[in-house]
Amino acid sequence: MQSFGSLLLDLSTLRTATYDFSEHKRLGEGGFGVVYKGDLPEGQEIAVKRLAKTSRQGLEELKTELLLVAKLNHNNLVRLIGVCLEENEKILVYEYMPNRSLDTILFDAEKIKELDWGQRFKIINGIARGLQYLHEDSQLKIVHRDLKASNVLLDSAYNPKISDFGLAKIFERDQSQVITHRIAGTYGYMSPEYAMRGQYSIKSDVFSFGVLVLEIITGRRNFGSYGSDHDVDLIYVVSTWTQLFYTETWEHWTKGEAMELIDPSLGSHYPVDKVLKCIHIGLLCVQPKPADRPLMSAVNVMLSSTVCLPSLSRPAFWFHEIGATASSDVNSEWNLHYPLNSRKTSQNEAPITELEPR
């Protein structure tokens, strides 16, 4: 575990590394600030996450990331190199990931062709191992709460690393669930019990992982295009698109037509049995009831062996459930705050770090 003192970096060093935070060094931006590419004097490439000075949420995110990432060490978690708090700056420095975030490749019609089945399976495996470490194997029991394609970074060999721990929460070892009135995360990846009732646990991350698996296999986002100007209907609208994605997956699966879901850019160059197993695992992870979703250690066993997989229930997010919740739990206009990602947030993604009635 790194000490806080060993993580401190001089602001002058970071200004030099990024050519004084030059526009041509910008990698992406979000509601918390901007991410830049930099080069340290010894030649190490870095990603410099400069939080906006006016963002109170940014300070909380920084504290959380410092607390967690400095204590974590796993090949599938992004590595924190340093922090700078000089002159009212709030800057986090990470290892640089040449292939950026998974979404920049997965949802680009041309770049997705770079991902053959071997690379996709490696990404699925790596994310699963990283989550098992967070949930079960590290000294802390951690729920990420915002696992999504833009928070999975890829190195030069397409090895995945989970990033952005600003919304993560530490659980006691014997703690199974927390209820909050401040929903944090990204619609489309949120489990139904969290989006609708504020209940989150490690099984919330398992649900998000299931969404990612299905996205990686299909090459498609799991929700449709919408703007950010919705008020009381936002939960209903986004959840409806999520349901349509799952409904299509479920119907193809039950009709024995799951092969039609596979991303056409893969051609015929993939092992059918492995792909079908991954679709099955993805559907297991988005089971309606948290208790029916597997632990990540069980997911890793399924991915690496020929064990018999559990049977499936209908996936979550169904109209009668959503309609009832939207009418009873959502009573006023909502205030959305957007987090810092490794790129600009697309119109198809609605991240939320605080969701509370005005």
Give φ, ψ of 238 to 5 degrees: -65, -40
- What are 125-158's pLDDT values in tens digits? 999 999 999 999 998 899 999 999 999 999 999 9
Mean pLDDT, to the nearest integer, of 329-346? 30
Instruction: Name the β-bridge partners of 91.
Output: 50, 84
Mean pLDDT, to the nearest integer, of 62-91? 85
Quickly list H helices, 198-310.
202-218, 234-254, 272-285, 296-304
- What are 30-39's pLDDT values in tens digits? 667 789 999 9
- Tokens standing for 234? 């936002």
- What are 1-54's pLDDT values in tens digits? 555 567 789 999 999 999 999 999 999 886 677 899 999 998 999 999 898 776
pLDDT at position 225, please?
35
pLDDT at position 345, please?
37
Q: Calculate ∠ Cα 173-175-181, nearest 5°.
A: 135
pLDDT at position 177, please?
73
Which CATH number fits the domain 102-357, given the four candidates 1.10.510.10, 1.10.10.10, 1.10.150.120, 3.40.220.10? 1.10.510.10
Q: Is the whole-model pTM more than 0.85?
A: no
Q: What is the secondary structure of 77-117 as a DSSP string?
A: BPPEEEEE-GGG-EEEEEE--TT-BHHHHHT-TTGGGG--H
- The annotation status of 49 as a binding-site residue, yes or no, is yes
Position 99 pLDDT exceeds 70: yes
- Given 10, 137, 146, 229, which residue is catalytic? 146
In angstroms, the CA 322 to CA 312 distance is 21
- Tokens standing for 20? 């004084």
Q: What is the mean pLDDT of the chain?
A: 79
pLDDT at position 207, please?
93
pLDDT at position 333, please?
26
Is-catalytic flag, 146?
yes
* Arch. (CATH architecture) of 4-95: 2-Layer Sandwich (3.30)
- What are 227-268's pLDDT values in tens digits? 333 333 444 544 555 566 667 788 888 888 889 889 999 998
Cβ atoms of residues 32 and 340 within 8 Å? yes
- Stronger pLDDT, 347 or 17, i.e. the higher one: 17
Residue ranges of the domains in the chain?
Answer: 4-95, 102-357
In angstroms, the CA 203 to CA 286 distance is 9
In angstroms, the CA 194 to CA 185 distance is 9
Position 293 pLDDT exceeds 50: yes
pLDDT at position 316, please?
56
Position 351 pLDDT exceeds 60: no
